[in-house]
Amino acid sequence: MPKSALATNERDANGRLNIMAGLPVLAPFFSFLSSMSKNWFITGVSTGFGAALADLALAQGDKVAATFRKQEQADEFSKKVGANGKGLVADVADEAAVKQAVADAIEALGYLDVVVNNAGYGSMGPIEEVSDAEVQRQFDVNVFGPLRVLRAVLPHLRERKSGHILNITSIGGLRAFPGVGIYNGSKFALEGIGESLAAQVGPLGIHVTNVEPSGFRTDWAGRSATFTEPAIEDYRPTAGKNMADIQGYSGQQPGDPVRAAQAMFDLVRMDNPPLHLPLGKAAVKGALDKFATITKEVEQYAHIGNGADFPS
């Protein structure tokens, strides 16, 4: 190692030890620390958060294995990134395809540091009117899809005793709204899975964060969504109105996917990352309001709840 000012006793014009003179020789070491790259596995990279996050990670020197539903999209991604990643074809509803994608990602990159459960969509409509088939599809993609990814990647992360899992849930996974109850249910489920998983894998050195965005300018409220319009008049002022509002502000949401991607990029470089990360002012306010409402309600009726135990 090159000698520093401390080792050579280099002094300034006044005879004082010049510690700063030795710092330049340490610059390569600090540069190495700051430039340590991470390997990402991200689902649903064709649009939205997935695309923004993959682009940012690559631009910052990380490597990315990204899943798409179409072969031509995966091929185009692989061609674009070269040795810095790989495009993979995997529908999260297909367990075999998910397993193969994870295996191919590990083979291509060598190992995984960050796993992002991003693939999903929003199903909107009054709870009474959304069909069983649509409810099952919503949960298959938004809940069972992430579970398939988790089952595929956890053996690898456990073996390495490290990693960070990001579940892209929603502010709709913390509080519910009219007209999106089925979507809310799927995201509430993913929130619970993420919380329990964090308690299980935290002692193994693996972090879990539920990322809860509010309205962002992605395709979520547009072509990525499905809509069951209210046929029952009773639901038009509630579910119907909120669905119309969501469609009406699609493309005008205040959330910036690029800034969200930066937040997630910074998140996985934290030594002690949070379990929950609401993204966007509406998400932060919505989460705080929900917890305040629950706290007030529980306190108000605590005498009823406390009275249900056997007498001590």
Q: What is the pLDDT of residues 95-141, one digit of tens each?
A: 999 999 999 999 999 999 999 999 999 999 999 999 999 999 999 99
- Rounded average pLDDT over 285-303: 97
Residues carrying an active site annotation: 183
pTM of this structure? 0.85
Rounded mean pLDDT of 156-184?
A: 96
Question: In which band, very low, low, confident or very high, does the pLDDT at 58 lie, cut at 50, 70 and 90?
Answer: very high
pLDDT of residue 32: 43
pLDDT digits (tens, 9 = 90+) for 196-211: 999 999 999 999 999 9
| Residue 11 pLDDT exceeds 60 | no
Q: DSSP letter string over the chain?
A: ----HHHHT-B-TTS-B-GGGGGGGGHHHHHHHHT---EEEES--SSHHHHHHHHHHHHTT-EEEEEESSHHHHHHHHHHHGGGEEEEE--TT-HHHHHHHHHHHHHHHSS-SEEEE-----EES-TTTS-HHHHHHHHIIIIIHHHHHHHHHHHHHHHHT-EEEEEE--GGGTS--TT-HHHHHHHHHHHHHHHHHHHHHGGGTEEEEEEEE-SBSSSTTTTT-EE----SGGGIIIIIHHHHHHHHTTT--SB-HHHHHHHHHHHTT-SS--SEEEESHHHHHHHHHHHHHHHHHHHHTHHHHHTTSPP-
pLDDT digits (tens, 9 = 90+) for 204-259: 999 999 999 987 767 665 677 788 999 999 999 999 998 888 887 776 777 788 99
Give the pLDDT of residue 68. Answer: 97
At 3, the pLDDT band (50, 70, 90 cuts) reads very low
The arithmetic mean of pLDDT across residues 151-172, rounded, is 97
pLDDT at 220: 61
Task: Place 30 in a pLDDT band, splitting at 50, 70 and 90.
Answer: very low
| CATH numbers and ranges of domains, the chain | 35-303 (3.40.50.720)
Q: What average pLDDT does range 74-96 have in this prediction?
A: 97
